[in-house]
Structures are given as structure tokens and as C-alpha cells.
Amino acid sequence: MIGAAARVLIPSATAFALGIAIAPILAGILYRHKAWKKRGGKEGIGGGGTPIFNELHKEREVSTPRMGGILIWCSVLATAALFWLLARTHAGTWAALDFVNRRETWLPLFALAAGAVAGLIDDLLEIREGKGGLPLARRLAIVGTIGAIAGWWFYAKLGVVAIGVPFGAPLYLGVFVVPFFALVTLAIYAGGTIDGIDGLAGGVFSVIFMTYAGIALGEGQVSLAAFAASVAGATLAFLWFNIPPARFYMSETGSMALTLALAMIAFASDTLAGGVGVFVLPLIALPLAATVVTTLLQVFWKKAFHKKLFLVAPIHHHFEALGWPAAKVTMRYWVITIIAGVLGLAIALTARLP
């Protein structure tokens, strides 16, 4: 019988291998169809233009393909389908590697796929029409709706009515767990704007998902851990081709899929498993939290004081504007994410609910 650790690591390695195999094919298709922005620039969470960002990235924005996130979710879904099929055609070992089940992974898989499709539509509109893709309000509505549906599923189908608090009693929310779920999902999605420097998002997300794989494994949720580890493995395959100079960017089809899946994993590793997965989320996903907070602070500062707090938000672009090389920003973010992940993992595994 395969041990729990192997049941987690084998799918992760499989997703990585599939991603490495898929990448050259995907890159060829994206370059052949010139799947990049027709004009540089982006819209921030607070709306409006981003002139400093545009100046920093004006050349790469219109020459490097988008939709590299296809590699991530395609590898994960292919890995899930592979072991699901093998479990139904072969007994024994293969059945142990199947991580698709209703209680732990149906919702994260759905969120990954739904985010992938919505993000892909946004990317295609951006590439074909060059008008910024789906309006920000519409993207937020999609994410919020998916979050609300998932929150209702946790509340009505799985009986989740509280969130875990380390070393204390769970915080009871009752039916308000549904809007809370939607708000957390929106916050994580807002952090997805970290995809703006070669290698940054891939490194950060791979560490975050592997950390939650460790949390889920420690809680006995082997299937959820295998799913999270598969996402980490696929994201590392993406990172292999996203390290400067990037072959392609993650863009919305990747960031929306990953942030929605992360929200599901955080809640699934919370009171449902006697854990505190949501409480440690801001720590484990510290770079995403910093992205959201600094963007909101920038918007508030401009409205309240009519000047900028940062040269450009989110803050990783502020460091770029200060003159930091992009590679320095990226690698320091990786280091911070690893340290934050270790601390979050330690808290989650020692602060289990009574």
C-alpha cells in the first residue's frame, strides 16, 4: 500500500512532468498566434491607468504571450483525470493515487476549472480586441459569485458554520460564512495582480500551494493535499519557462484559476478538518496580502490626500520603480514566501482545534 506522503508527492511530480511536456507545444501555439497584448498597460484594482508600470514593462507587454496559465490548470486537470481513470481500470496502487472525491476535492477542482475558463475569456478578449479584456467589475462579479456558491456548498452541504481560531474556540458565523467566503475569495483574487514580473507569481504560488499541501496532509486530508501538491508541481513547471526572460505570462486564466482554488483549499483545511486554514492564509499568502493592502492604500491615499503613497502599486512594482532589478524583487519575494509558509505551516499544525 502506498504511504500518504507518496500519494501526495507522486501526483505533484506527475503534474510537473506533464507541465514540462506541454510547455513547448503551448508556447508554439501562443507565439504562432501572437497571443500578446496589442498595447501595453493594465488596469489596477482601484481602476485608472498605471503609467510607471507601463514604462517599466512597455516592451515585454507587447511581445510576450499571455495565457501561460493554461499550462498550470491543464496539467492539474490532466493529472487528476489520469489517476481517476487508472483507479477505475486498475486495482491496488493506482486506486490509492486517485485524489478526486466529493468531500475534499470536487469543489477545488471546480473552482480551478471555472477560474480557468473565465480567465481565458478575459485573455482572449484582451488579445483579440486590445481593450483590457473583461471589465474589472465583471471579473469581480464572477469571482464573488463563484465564492458565494462555494460558501453555500460549505454551509449547506458540508455543515461549515465557523472558522478556526488558533488555540481557541472556533469563531461562529452561521449563515454569514457564505458572504465571508465570498469576501475572502475576492481578496485572494485581488492578490493575483502579483503576476507582473517574470517568475514572481509562479514562485510565490508554488510555495503557497505546497504549504497548504503540508497542512492538509497533517490534518489527514490526503486527497486535498495531493490536489494542492499537484497545483504546486504544475506551477513549478510553469515557473521553469517563466524565469527571466519569460516565455509566456500567467495572465488571468492562470491567476484566476489559482486564486479561486486557493480559497477553496484554505476553507477545506479549516474547521471541516479541525484546522485553522483560513486564519493562517494572510501569513502563508503574505505577498498576496501585501499586494491587496498596498493597492488599497494607494487608492485611499490618492482619494484622501490627492497624492500617491507608493511610486506605483502593488508594492513589488514600487521596488522596481526605485531601481531594484526585477530578479532581486522576485527572489526576495520567494524567500519571504518560504519563511511565511514555514511559519504558517507551524502554526496550522500546532494550533489544531480542540
Radius of gyration of the chain (CA): 20
Q: Per the structure block, which three cell numbers stand in for 57?
A: 514593462
Write the CB contacts of 312 (distance below 8 Å, at least 6 apart in sequence).
50, 52, 53, 318, 320, 321
* Residue type at position 147: G
- Predicted confidence at residue 296, as pLDDT, reads 92
pTM: 0.94
- Please, what are the averages of pLDDT over each run of 10 residues along the chain (354 residues)? 89 98 96 83 54 60 88 98 92 87 93 96 87 87 96 94 92 96 96 88 97 96 97 98 92 96 97 94 96 92 91 89 92 97 96 66
Q: Are 161 and 171 in contact (CB under 8 A)?
A: no
Per DSSP, the three-state class of 35 is: coil
Dihedral sign for Cα 344, 238, 329, 37, please.
negative
Distance CA(67)–CA(27), nearest Å, equals 10
Distance CA(191)–CA(293), nearest Å, equals 9
Centroid of chain to Cα 78 = 18
Distance CA(86)–CA(328), nearest Å, equals 43
Centroid of chain to Cα 113 = 12
Range of the domain at 65: 4-350
Q: Count up the domains in the chain and report the number.
A: 1
Report DSSP state, residue 225.
H
